[in-house]
């Protein structure tokens, strides 16, 4: 997994709460066996008109947001289905960071598995970033080492992230490899608890 240390990018502001994973990636696209190629279907029903052309009213289709790599959203982002295709689609489209006041738990975990950094900021700070994103484009620097988010105009906030997840992202670590370092302890526990050994 590609390490994440410090990232600067353009912010795409999606001013909606409770964005569920059915919106992020609708179910008809969940039939691939690769993790790649989902970016073209991100927010499909919002991005495209029925005839398949880009919907000019959808925020992320604004020309100045091409290449945006930081998504700014409202409360409870990523709620609903556990589909990991949601962070796959976001990542494939080009997002490396999602900032919101709150995230749904499963989506939050799934982001870390895919090199996407989900950042929880206070509602007031998120409001401020929405204000600063218009007129755009807003550029933010996200520094995982110092755990800060800042812009070029004096905004700077720190964010919290679980120490283990932070280290895994900073070093691009493979979580299965890390866990298997404890294989002895896992086997011992299973034997002690009567779990049949194959």
Partner 1 sequence: MHVIGPEMGLTQPGMTIVCGDSHTATHGALGALAFGIGTSEVEHVLATQTLRQSKPKSLELRVEGELAPGVTAKDLVLFLIGKISTEGGTGSVIEYTGPCIRRLSMEQRMTVCNMSIEAGARAGMIAPDATTFDYLRGRDFAPQDFDAAVARWEQLASDSGCHYDRTEIFNGADVVPQVTWGTNPAQVVGVDAAVPDPASLTTAADRDSAARALDYMGLEGGQKLVDIPLDRVFIGSCTNSRIEDLREAARVVRGHRVASSVSAMVVPGSGRVKRQAEAEGLDQVFRDAGFDWREAGCSMCLGMNPDTLSVGERCASTSNRNFEGRQGKGGRTHLVSPSMAAAAAITGHFTDIRGWNFND
Rounded Cα distance, 142 and 149, in Å: 5
Helices and strands (DSSP H and E) totals, the chain:
8, 7
Options 12, 25, 89, 110; binder of partner 1; rule CB under 8 A: 110
Question: Is 176 in a helix, a strand, or coil?
Answer: helix
Q: Give 31 or 153: the residue with its C-beta nearer to partner 1.
A: 31
Options 8, 55, 113, 148; binder of partner 1; rule CB under 8 A: 113
Q: Give 35 or 96: the residue with its C-beta nearer to partner 1.
A: 35
Q: Give 158 or 175: the residue with its C-beta nearer to partner 1.
A: 175
Asked whether 157 and 121 are in contact (CB, 8 A), the reply is yes
Residue 49 binding partner 1, by CB under 8 A: no
Rounded Cα distance, 107 and 104, in Å: 6
Options 55, 114, 141, 147; binder of partner 1; rule CB under 8 A: 114
Alpha helix positions (H), 17-139: 21-24, 44-47, 85-93, 105-112, 123-132
Closest of 58, 67, 63, 11 to residue 39, by C-alpha: 67
Residue 170 binding partner 1, by CB under 8 A: no
Options 42, 60, 84, 100; binder of partner 1; rule CB under 8 A: 84
Residue 40 binding partner 1, by CB under 8 A: no
Residue 80 binding partner 1, by CB under 8 A: yes
Rounded Cα distance, 115 and 33, in Å: 19
Residue 134 binding partner 1, by CB under 8 A: no
Options 13, 25, 83, 99; binder of partner 1; rule CB under 8 A: 83
Residue 55 binding partner 1, by CB under 8 A: no
């Amino acid at each position: 997994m590609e390490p994440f240390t410090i990232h600067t990018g353009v912010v795409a502001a999606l001013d909606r709460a409770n964005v569920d994973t059915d919106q992020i990636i609708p179910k008809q696209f969940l039939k691939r066996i690769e993790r790649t190629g989902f970016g073209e279907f991100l927010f499909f029903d919002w991005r495209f008109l029925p005839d398949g052309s880009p919907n000019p009213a959808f925020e992320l289709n604004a020309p100045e947001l091409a290449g945006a790599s930081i998504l700014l959203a409202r409360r409870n982002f990523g709620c609903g289905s556990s589909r990991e295709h949601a962070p796959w689609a976001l990542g494939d489209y080009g997002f490396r960071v999602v900032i919101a006041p709150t995230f749904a738990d499963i989506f939050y975990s799934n982001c870390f598995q895919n090199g996407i950094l989900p950042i929880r900021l206070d509602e007031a700070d998120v409001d401020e970033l929405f204000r600063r994103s218009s007129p755009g484009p807003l550029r933010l620097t996200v520094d995982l080492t110092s755990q800060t988010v800042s812009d070029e105009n004096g905004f700077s906030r720190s964010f919290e992230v679980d120490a283990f997840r932070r280290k895994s992202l900073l070093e691009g670590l493979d979580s299965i490899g890390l866990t298997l370092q404890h294989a002895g302890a896992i086997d011992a526990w299973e034997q002690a608890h009567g779990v049949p050994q194959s």
